[in-house]
Every structure is written in C-alpha cells, then in structure tokens.
Structure 1
Amino acid sequence: MRSQDHDRLFLSPPHLGRHEMNYVHKAIEDNWVAPTGPNLTGFEADICQATGVGHCVALSSGTAAIHLGLLLLGVGPGDEVLCPSFTFVATANPILYVGATPVFIDSETDTWNLCPQRLLEAIVDRIARGKKPKALILVHLYGMPAKLTEIIAIAAEYELPILEDAAEALGSTFNKQPLGSFGAVGVFSFNGNKILTTSGGGALVTNDASLAQKAHFLATQAKDQAPHYQHSEVGYNYRLSNILAGIGRGQMGLLDERVKRRREIFAWYKEHLARLPGLTVALAPEPAGSRSNRWLTTILLTPTAAEDAANATARVTPETVRQQLETHNIESRPLWKPLHLQPLFQSAPRYGGEVCANLFARGLCLPSGTAMTETELRRVADALAECF
C-alpha cells in the first residue's frame, strides 16, 4: 500500500483528553479571554505541583522562556553561553537575542546530551582565553536526562548558573526528581508536538521568588508601578493567554498517562524492530537513576549496516528510510542537525562535534504520538522492514 491508502501518521501530533474544553468554555463564559485569568494562574500552579518547583511563569513559548531565563541570569552583549550543539535551534537563538555568543559543546554517547568532559574542557579553555562563560544551557534531549551529577558538579565548581532546557522532558526524572527543577531556571515547551500541549506555549520555573517576579515583570512589557503606563526598561509581550492555559490545565492531568504511553511505544518499537539487522532503537537502556518520558523514539543505522550499504547499489541512509516511510504516508524526521554545522552559527566556538555529527548522520525519529494504535505501529515497522 502507498500513501493514498492510509491516513497520514504524524511524528508527534497533539493528543487532547476530555477536560480541556471545560476550562476553555469556562473562560469564554466568564469573559476571561484576556492574557490573564484563573486558567493561567491555575496552570502555573499545576506545573509547580508536577515539577516540585516553587514558582512558574507561563509564557507564549519555550523560546521566550529561554530568552527571559538568560536575562534573569544577567547574560548580555559580549558574554558567552555554553550550549550543547546537538539540540533544536530554539535553545541557542535566545543567546543571540541578548547579544551573547554561544559556545557549542559535543554530546556523549550514553544519553546524547552535553558531554561533561567536553564541558570541562570548554570552561578551562574559555577562562584561559580571558572569557569566563556567563551561564550554561543544559538540554535533556528527546526526554532523556543528561548526566546531571557530573554536569552540576562542574558548573558549581566554576560558579556557572544553569538554565535547564527541559522543553522535551516534561515528566522525565533523575533520581526521582523531575527534570526542569535542577537549574537556577528551568524551561518547558507546550508546543503542538510536545508530550503535553497548549497549542503554543511554554513556561519558566524557578525556586527563586525574585527571579520569578522579574520574569513576570519582563513578560508583561516591564510596566513600572504607576497608575499610568511607565517603562524604565525593555519588556516583552510573552505571557500565555488564559484561553490556551485552559488547554494546559486539561492536559496537565494527563501527564502520567502520556508518559506511560510514550514509554510503551518505545518498548514496542524496541521489541518489534529488533529483528531488523540494519538499525537499532536508540537511547536504551536508560542510565542508572534516569527515567525518560520517551518523547520521541529514535533509531540509528548501525555502523556495520552503513558500511555494507556503502557497497550496495542503493545506499541505505536516514534520508532513504525517511523517503520510504513517506511512500506509506508516515512522517519521520532526522535527528537534530548539530548547531555547529548550521550556517547561522558557523563562526561560533565549539568543543568537539564528531559525536553529535555522527548521530545526525545515522539517526531518525519515528512516529511516537500517544494516540497511536498497535495497527499504526505495525504500519511503521512493516515500512521499515522494506528498507532492510
């Protein structure tokens, strides 16, 4: 069967429950359609409860949250910010917003996240060059916890504040502590493809009340205390709307269920793709103490398969696999293209890069939406089998 024979299988589509419309309807009935209201404060309280963090400011996107987080940490023009190369561009773009320079760091092979050894190398070298980094952005890729014990110890030794980008990791834990709660500032995304969604949205969390107050101030156009509109510094229109927060309130009650289902999908792929000789379901097993939400299931073409394919008439690559899945109307996506390979960041300093470049060259993300049925999972598995 080809694309016209099946509905499209998307990579990670929204999955709404039964209660989102209750909150949205209530907001409309009560005329709370402005950027503030009971849904917004309730959604922030729900996030605090789920993450164990004291304060939350719900925002228009995860990118906005990273931008404000950098400002809260005092990052500005001329500063340098340490950042993993293997991540979505939204992690690094806000570094440019504030006039700073990203310093990219390679991944390690266990979790694909920031390599502690490369991190230490970068810090020591930047200090030797007279440019101590101002902050560290730490990402938990595809929901997998980074090597937090080592990274936190290094950051503490050099007094580097951590901005924890947990955009893909809501519901993941390390030593039973929710991700997003380890840094001075944590960030979540509720974009349409995330494990929970508000259509578009994000959140900044922190245990520092003064930072939360400042984030709220900046996100609401930095209006000074006055009966008129008075502004002493640049502000932003970054608050999440009360309507979208209503969707978030309904979604937050589903977090445990959604994580459970994503993990079941990962386990299904791992079991049923094991017979295919040319690929492995990646990021398994989880390192000790780590529990991933398994936001997206990923595969890697094995080195042996890649070498064999190089001698074949039609080489098997992530792109040929992606195109094959497309003939079955199945969406897939390459792993993140490392930022040090992006034209936008071609002049940025980097430390390593071979690990994440290799992952990009070998990997693919598979459909992982929580509403997937076993029949749909088998569609993906059968289409992959045709490639090998």
Structure 2
Amino acid sequence: MDKQHMKFATKAIHAGQEPDPTTGAVMTPIYQTSTYWQASPGDHKGYEYSRGTNPTRKALEDCLAALENAKYGLAFSSGMGATDAVLRLLQPGDEVITGNDLYGGSYRIFTKVYAKYGIKFHFLDLSKPENILPHINDKTKLIWIETPTNPTMRIIDIEGVAKISKAHKLILAVDNTFASPYLQNPMDQGADIVMHSVTKYIGGHSDVVMGALLVNDDQLYKELWFVYNACGATPGPQDAFLVLRGIKTLHLRMKAHCENGEKVAQYLKNHPKIDKIYWPGFEDHPNHDIAKKQMRGFGGMVSITLKDADLAETFRVASSFKVFTLAESLGGVESLINHPVSMTHGSIPKEEREKVGVTDNLLRLSVGVEDIDDLLADLEQALA
C-alpha cells in the first residue's frame, strides 16, 4: 500500500521500512558504518559517507515524513540542530517573526547566536494572526511558531498564519513538538517546514536526543539538505533505530497521554492550591476553538501556577513528587515535572518571561502513561 493512503497507525509501524533484502530482517538494521563501498569512483548505491546519508537514518526520515504528510524528512542530532539548520537559510539583515511565549532554547539561539550576525527577531503576541502584519517588511523572511507553546500552552492559528506567510512569500516554520504528528499536522494547514524535537513524544522513552525537519518544497529541501550535510548535525544509526522503535507505539502512547492529561487537568482545575492552569482542552482556554479545529486531541502537557507560593515553596512542591520525576524534557512514557524558570526557560530574561506568565510559581507537567490513580494520588500528596 502507498504510504500516502495509509492510516496513521499503519504509517507509524511500516512507513519508510521494508524487510532487509539481504537477510529478510523485519526490523531495519543498524547500519553502523561511516563509509560505503564504491564499484568505481562515483559508482555507489546512493550512500557515500554517513554524515550525509545512512540507510537506518533514511528509513527514519521517510517514516517521519509520512507521519507529517510531507515529501521529505531530515533527522538531526537534536531539536536545536534542526532549528539551527532553518536559521542558516537566513542572511545578515533578514528579519524573523516569532512568538513571545517560546521554548527557552529557541529564544537563546535566536538572541544569543543569530542576533549577533545581524538577524532581527520580533517576539510577538501571536494569539491573532493579524498581529503579524505591522511587523512585515521587505527584510522579513521567516515566521517561526510553536503551538501549543512551551510552557503556557498558547494556541496559534496555523492556517491563519500560513495565509499571511504565503501572501508575503515568507517561510513558515512550525515547532510541532508539543502536539506530535499524531495530534496535529501543520503541513496540511500551510506550513513550509515542520520541526520536531524528536527527543520528546516521537522518541517517547527519554533515551534519545534528536531533531527533525519535514518539508514538501523541492528547493527548500535541497537548501536544508545542503546545510544538513555541510554542517553535520546528523544523528547516528543507533539513535535512528531507537526512534524507529519508539514510533511504532506513538499512536498508542499519545492516546494514553491524552487520556491521562485530561484527567490530571480536570483534577487540578479546581484544586485549592492551584492559581492558574494551562491546558488547551478547557473551553475557557484562549483559542480553544482553534485548538479544537487544528488538533485531534489536547495532549499530555499541563502547566500550573501555585497559589500564594514563593520560589522556595514552589521548589518544595516540585521536589515532593514520588511518581512524577523532577527533570527537564517531556513526552516520555514516564511523568515529569519541570520548573521552567530554573530549568527549560532559564535563558529568558525575567521581565520577558513574566510578561507571558512564566513566573517563579509555575510548574509544567508532562503527564505520562502510568496508571491515572497513581498520578492523581501523587499530585494530591505533593500539593497537600
């Protein structure tokens, strides 16, 4: 069956993968090689050197592309490596429009690495696509969005932003890490590039660091592949194998993440120790209607602020969990709790992060797939 006509669960298990022609192995082999035999100079089977191409990685890239309904996939050694490759499409003097509620690592690479090369970044409230319009000029080249955002789960209208990007001939890149391709496919809504921190839901087991870019446009793919090969932020075959293995249960895991995430959010919504709760499944969540339109579920990420809690009390609560693990990252089968101000968003200046609600008393939950009764009991005891 053509991968374009497969349903998601079938793609997750089969796309990009065939039995090994040499042995009949059902699982894609780990091609642990740096180089490839050539019958004569230039006469090879499409593989020359593993920085550029590797059969295990190629199988993964084809699978990821299928999951995002894209033509091409590129796997990177981290999500930041993938982000870096997109930014390398720019020239000094170019301008980028992005959100003011952003993963701290993205903010850091924008402001600390690329800004010094003369690239200007506009950090905007993107709750309405039209907020972009006053900031577009002849130097604008890229719009970079996350939705849901990290960590306050803001929802951005991908289709609305895509209409603006196309009208002004801009590249639209969407960080789809929080939703995963199971819940949302930005390419179908007009994005030019989809980025994933594959480390998170796609890998799903907290044992791999990896990133990916998915594209449809032939020329854009060629430009990104040049950066990918020339700069070398490509992952090894063992990591590619592990992610292929993780993807096979992505649809099952995401169903469980969504179910547990909803129950945790509902439990916390009226909890006396909680001040604010951020989860896009609530009808009163900003842009809930957009989330309902462009997502197939609301995911397993929930953020909360603790009522009347200073930094010391927030640390005490964060350190009191028994089932949730206090750690950076998200999207694994195990539940994690994160304190963004001191962990994932520490690189964002205090005044900037507080404008968008990333305060000292905010905690971000990555709700895993454990038994929901144990998760709720853990929340109850930690918040007591």
Query: What TM-score does the superposition give when structure 2 sets the normalisation length?
Result: 0.69
Deviations 1:119-143 (A, max 9, x none): 23433xxx4xxx6422111112257
Displacement after TM superposition at 1:341 (Å): 8.5
Task: Name the SS for the 1:86 alignment partner.
Answer: coil
Deviates more, 1:324-333 or 1:46-55: 324-333
Match of 2:376 in 1: 378
**2:313 maps to which of 307, 314, 320:** 320
For residues 340 and 25 of structure 1, do their structure 2 counterparts lie closer, same or farther at Cα, with a shift above 3 Å needed? closer
Match of 2:8 in 1: none
- Give the counterpart letter for 2:379 in structure 1: A
Identity %: 16
Task: Name the SS for the 1:299 alignment partner.
Answer: strand
Please give the alpha-carbon distance, in whole angstroms, between the structure 2 residues aligned to 1:133 and 1:238: 26
Displacement after TM superposition at 1:183 (Å): 1.8
Please give the alpha-carbon distance, in whole angstroms, between the structure 2 residues aligned to 1:25 and 1:47: 15
Deviations 1:247-279 (A, max 9, x none): 111111111112111101112212333441342
Match of 1:170 in 2: 180
Please give the alpha-carbon distance, in whole angstroms, between the structure 1 residues aligned to 2:126 and 2:381: 30
Match of 1:241 in 2: 236
Please give the alpha-carbon distance, in whole angstroms, between the structure 1 residues aligned to 2:126 and 2:377: 32
Larger relative contact order (C-alpha < 8 A, sep ≥ 6)?
1
- Give the counterpart letter for 2:232 in structure 1: N
For the Cα contact (< 8 Å) 1:83–1:105, is it kept in 2?
A: yes
Aligned residue pairs total: 312
Please give the alpha-carbon distance, in whole angstroms, between the structure 1 residues aligned to 2:259 and 2:88: 39
- Give the counterpart letter for 2:319 in structure 1: E
For residues 179 and 363 of structure 1, do their structure 2 counterparts lie closer, same or farther at Cα, with a shift above 3 Å needed? farther
Match of 1:116 in 2: 129
Match of 2:218 in 1: 209
Deviations 1:89-108 (A, max 9, x none): 33244443372122111354
> Within the alignment, does 1:105 sit opposite 2:124 as a pair?
yes
- Give the counterpart letter for 1:85 in structure 2: N
Please give the alpha-carbon distance, in whole angstroms, between the structure 1 residues aligned to 2:341 and 2:167: 30
> Within the alignment, does 1:196 sit opposite 2:203 as a pair?
yes
For the Cα contact (< 8 Å) 1:24–1:243, is it kept in 2?
A: no
For residues 119 and 156 of structure 1, do their structure 2 counterparts lie closer, same or farther at Cα, with a shift above 3 Å needed? same
- Give the counterpart letter for 1:136 in structure 2: I
For residues 133 and 210 of structure 1, do their structure 2 counterparts lie closer, same or farther at Cα, with a shift above 3 Å needed? closer
Displacement after TM superposition at 1:326 (Å): 0.6
Match of 2:141 in 1: 134
Please give the alpha-carbon distance, in whole angstroms, between the structure 2 residues aligned to 1:49 and 1:107: 29
Please give the alpha-carbon distance, in whole angstroms, between the structure 1 residues aligned to 2:347 and 2:105: 15
Task: Name the SS for the 2:88 alignment partner.
Answer: helix
Task: Name the SS for the 1:289 alignment partner.
Answer: helix
> Within the alignment, does 1:57 sit opposite 2:74 as a pair?
yes
Match of 1:230 in 2: none
- Give the counterpart letter for 2:219 in structure 1: S
Stretches of 4+ moved more than 6 A in 1? 22-25, 336-341
**2:164 maps to which of 143, 154, 166:** 154
Please give the alpha-carbon distance, in whole angstroms, between the structure 2 residues aligned to 1:294 and 1:360: 22
For the Cα contact (< 8 Å) 1:106–1:356, is it kept in 2?
A: no
Match of 2:83 in 1: 66
Deviations 1:203-231 (A, max 9, x none): 1111012222332222222xxxxxxxxxx
Displacement after TM superposition at 1:25 (Å): 9.3
For residues 117 and 215 of structure 1, do their structure 2 counterparts lie closer, same or farther at Cα, with a shift above 3 Å needed? closer
- Give the counterpart letter for 1:299 in structure 2: I
- Give the counterpart letter for 1:146 in structure 2: I
For the Cα contact (< 8 Å) 2:71–2:216, is it kept in 1?
A: yes
For residues 256 and 318 of structure 1, do their structure 2 counterparts lie closer, same or farther at Cα, with a shift above 3 Å needed? farther
For residues 97 and 274 of structure 1, do their structure 2 counterparts lie closer, same or farther at Cα, with a shift above 3 Å needed? closer
- Give the counterpart letter for 1:268 in structure 2: K
Please give the alpha-carbon distance, in whole angstroms, between the structure 1 residues aligned to 2:32 and 2:172: 39
Please give the alpha-carbon distance, in whole angstroms, between the structure 2 residues aligned to 1:355 and 1:117: 24
Q: What's the Cα RMSD here? A: 3.4
Task: Name the SS for the 2:264 alignment partner.
Answer: helix
Query: What TM-score does the superposition give when structure 1 sets the normalisation length?
Result: 0.69
Please give the alpha-carbon distance, in whole angstroms, between the structure 2 residues aligned to 1:319 and 1:367: 22
For residues 64 and 251 of structure 1, do their structure 2 counterparts lie closer, same or farther at Cα, with a shift above 3 Å needed? same
Please give the alpha-carbon distance, in whole angstroms, between the structure 2 residues aligned to 1:136 and 1:218: 19
For the Cα contact (< 8 Å) 2:317–2:383, is it kept in 1?
A: no
Deviates more, 1:267-276 or 1:329-338: 329-338
Displacement after TM superposition at 1:31 (Å): 4.2
For residues 214 and 120 of structure 1, do their structure 2 counterparts lie closer, same or farther at Cα, with a shift above 3 Å needed? closer
For residues 153 and 242 of structure 1, do their structure 2 counterparts lie closer, same or farther at Cα, with a shift above 3 Å needed? same
> Within the alignment, does 1:82 sit opposite 2:88 as a pair?
no
- Give the counterpart letter for 2:299 in structure 1: R
Please give the alpha-carbon distance, in whole angstroms, between the structure 2 residues aligned to 1:83 and 1:255: 29
